[in-house]
């Protein structure tokens, strides 16, 4: 079983930011990635719709023999991971906005969070915020429109710059010193965001933490691939694979799959 692949899914190409972190930390591990671009964005869907899509992706990764599943999507994690853990026998790793480190380290006592509507309205997000952000101003912002632009190859567009300006404005008014990226599509915005934010504002995302957690859980289940192999990284998308390939600079094996 340790030779089986790590299964990873997202509503589209965003979770590749997590795939890259996992591959960098665990270069021996085979990975199978599902980009459910056909159904993106998940962020504006109902909890039940997100759950059904998460089940569909999970079943496909299980059919492909995966040993663990990384839900590389904040929206799917915050809305579906409890169900998945209760109903399937393999371990699941999720991703949540990194509110805790931001709240613990802020000097200005104000942090910004950019995430989808589905994540910001979830119970899990509210629980984490209540737990760690006492006395801290959390400026929440739904990143409406960002995912569709990325999914249609418009990452570096004037529309994107205009949206980001609007979304950052209230955060800057509250003098945030941390910006939490609560969606796996958003790390691709870091070069743009860094130019738009004052130098003292730190951007944090949870990608590396997820990769480390994946390693720890695989190790605890004795599922790490200790064999000296060249990892096979396969990506399947039910959307435009050219956009997926270009965001990955053709680094991995990418094919179209209707799922």
Active site (annotated) includes residue 31: no
Among candidate residues 34, 138, 183, 241, the one labeled active-site is: 183
The strand pair at 68-71 and 31-35 is best described as unpaired
Return the number of the residue (99 or 223) whose C-beta is nearest ligand DGL. 99
x/- string (CB under 6 A) for ligand DGL, residues 149-178?
------------------------------
* 40 lies in the binding site for ligand DGL (CB under 6 A): yes
* 112 lies in the binding site for ligand DGL (CB under 6 A): no
Active site (annotated) includes residue 73: yes
Burial degree of 61 (CB within 10 A; 0-12, 13-18, 19+): buried
* 57 lies in the binding site for ligand DGL (CB under 6 A): no
* 205 lies in the binding site for ligand DGL (CB under 6 A): no
Spell out the alpha helix ranges (H) of 12-110.
16-25, 47-63, 74-87, 99-105
Minimum Å gap between C-beta 138 and ligand DGL is 17
* 207 lies in the binding site for ligand DGL (CB under 6 A): no
Minimum Å gap between C-beta 161 and ligand DGL is 20
* Maximum CA extent, the chain: 52
* 10 lies in the binding site for ligand DGL (CB under 6 A): yes
Instruction: Give the integer Cα–Cα distance in Å for 31 and 22.
Output: 9
* 42 lies in the binding site for ligand DGL (CB under 6 A): yes
Instruction: Give the integer Cα–Cα distance in Å for 138 and 133.
Output: 7
| Tally: H helices and E strands in the chain | 11, 10
Give strand pairing partners of 7. 32, 69
Q: Which residues are the active-site residues?
A: 73, 183
């Amino acid at each position: 079983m340790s030779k089986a692949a790590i299964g990873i899914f997202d509503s589209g190409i965003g979770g590749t930011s997590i795939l890259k972190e996992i591959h960098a930390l665990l270069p021996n591990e085979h990975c199978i990635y599902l980009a459910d671009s056909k159904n993106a964005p998940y962020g504006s869907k109902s909890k039940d719709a997100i759950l059904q899509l998460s089940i569909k992706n999970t079943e496909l990764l299980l059919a492909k023999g995966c040993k663990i599943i990384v839900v590389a999507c904040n929206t799917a994690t915050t809305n579906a991971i409890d169900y998945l853990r209760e109903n399937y026998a393999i371990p699941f790793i999720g991703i949540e906005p990194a509110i805790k480190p931001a709240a613990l380290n802020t000097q200005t006592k104000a942090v910004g969070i950019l995430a989808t509507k589905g994540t910001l309205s979830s119970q899990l997000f509210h629980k984490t915020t209540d737990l760690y952000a006492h006395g801290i101003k959390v400026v929440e912002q739904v990143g409406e429109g960002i995912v569709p632009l990325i999914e249609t190859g418009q990452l570096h567009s004037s529309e994107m710059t205009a949206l980001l300006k609007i979304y950052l404005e209230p955060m800057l008014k509250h003098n945030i010193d941390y910006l939490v990226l609560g969606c796996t599509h958003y790390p691709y915005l870091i070069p743009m965001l860094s130019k738009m934010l004052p130098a003292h504002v730190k951007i944090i995302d949870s990608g590396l933490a997820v990769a480390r957690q994946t390693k720890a859980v695989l190790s605890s289940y004795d599922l790490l691939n200790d064999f000296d192999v060249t990892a096979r990284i396969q990506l399947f998308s039910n959307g435009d694979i050219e956009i997926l390939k270009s965001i990955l600079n053709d680094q991995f094996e990418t094919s179209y799959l209707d799922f």
